[in-house]
Amino acid sequence: MTNEQWENLLAVINGEIIDPPPVGFVIDSPWLPEWAGVSILDYFTSEEIWFEANLKAIRQFPEVMFLPGFWAEYGMCAEPSAFGAKCVWQENELPFAYKIIQDVSEINNLDLPNPTVDGLCPFVLKRLQHNRSRIEQSGHAVKFAVSRGPLNIASFLMGTTEFLLASRTDRDQIHKLLNLVTDFIVSWLETQIKTFSSIDGVFVLDDIVGFLGDADFQELVRPYLKKIFQAFDVPVKFFHNDAAGLVCAPYLPEIGINLFNFGFEHTITEMKQLTENKVTLLGNIPPRDILAGGTAEQVQQCVTETIAALPEKSRVILSCGGGVPGGVSTENLNAFLSATKA
């Protein structure tokens, strides 16, 4: 992000109204490689290709806040790989991390990973270190420490179905796993912050949160997210959950989250009510069916209708309901931006 974009982000989080409304998108490997005309595997394995793809995006859309910006991610594999998960890579498919826990009793055998040496975490750090000067020469900076969330990582280590079942049948073991994973996340975010003095925000992504009801959320999510977000004295605490978001929304201010990217099934008005307008909302155009699959005219109409439906314009950054999916065209992104200025 540029310094101006960062200041605008802070202003929106603090409740200031910016006209026209700011636009921000979460972009990573599901969208960038195809849009930039490179293979997914080349994007992951070549620092030059990775850098040029990100540079192309910020130059093509200079007015957009790309979050977190120059994201040195390896699909969903960085954090599970630190625990020893096998990762499989194909030319034009997102990588996949295979589960390592076959039985809940095996949770007892897990050790706390060291993010400076384990799995792909050192590769994330080195990619940013190697490119830091070029990122800064482009007018941007590394502003976020980023991690997948505790339920997301745990579900990769166990399998999603197995994790959700065990959360009902073997809750003590699941708490043991979530405690371990949460300690790792805090250490991983802390390592990034210590490595890059420019970081002033944390970004945690966890869609599995949306699979739980209120009682389970309060026991299995709330304390762990609080431990993560309240471990850091930074002005931006960003959470992504584009599965069902109603369950977590009322608790976000208490947890310490002040920026939330949620799914398009919920309206911005709903989220404003549930968060008591204390959290900046990043959304909320349907990502697949409209932003990727719609025409430019449909994108423009959807954005226009979203703006018109806002009860008031504080603490809103216009985006899609989740990360930018594969297949979103330059034309459709330009139509999105055009609609915000109408």
pLDDT at residue 330 in the model: 98
pLDDT digits (tens, 9 = 90+) for 211-249: 999 999 999 999 999 999 999 999 999 999 999 889 999
**Does residue 160 register a pLDDT over 90?**
yes
Mean pLDDT of the chain, nearest integer: 97
pTM of the model: 0.97
pLDDT digits (tens, 9 = 90+) for 88-132: 999 999 999 999 999 999 999 999 999 999 999 999 999 999 999
Tokens describing residue 22: 């700011």
What is the CB neighbour count within 10 angstroms for residue 272?
20
282-286 own/partner pairs: CB under 8 Å, 24+ apart: 282/24, 282/26, 282/67, 282/317, 282/319, 283/318, 283/319, 283/320, 283/321, 284/319, 284/320, 284/321, 285/318, 285/319, 285/320, 285/321, 285/336, 286/320, 286/321
CB 212 within 8 A of CB 221: yes
pLDDT at residue 190 in the model: 98
pLDDT at residue 342 in the model: 79
pLDDT digits (tens, 9 = 90+) for 193-213: 999 999 999 999 999 999 999
pLDDT digits (tens, 9 = 90+) for 18-67: 988 899 999 999 999 999 999 999 999 999 999 999 999 999 999 999 99
| Top-level class of domain 3-340 | alpha beta
Pairwise CA distance, residues 39 & 308, whole Å: 39
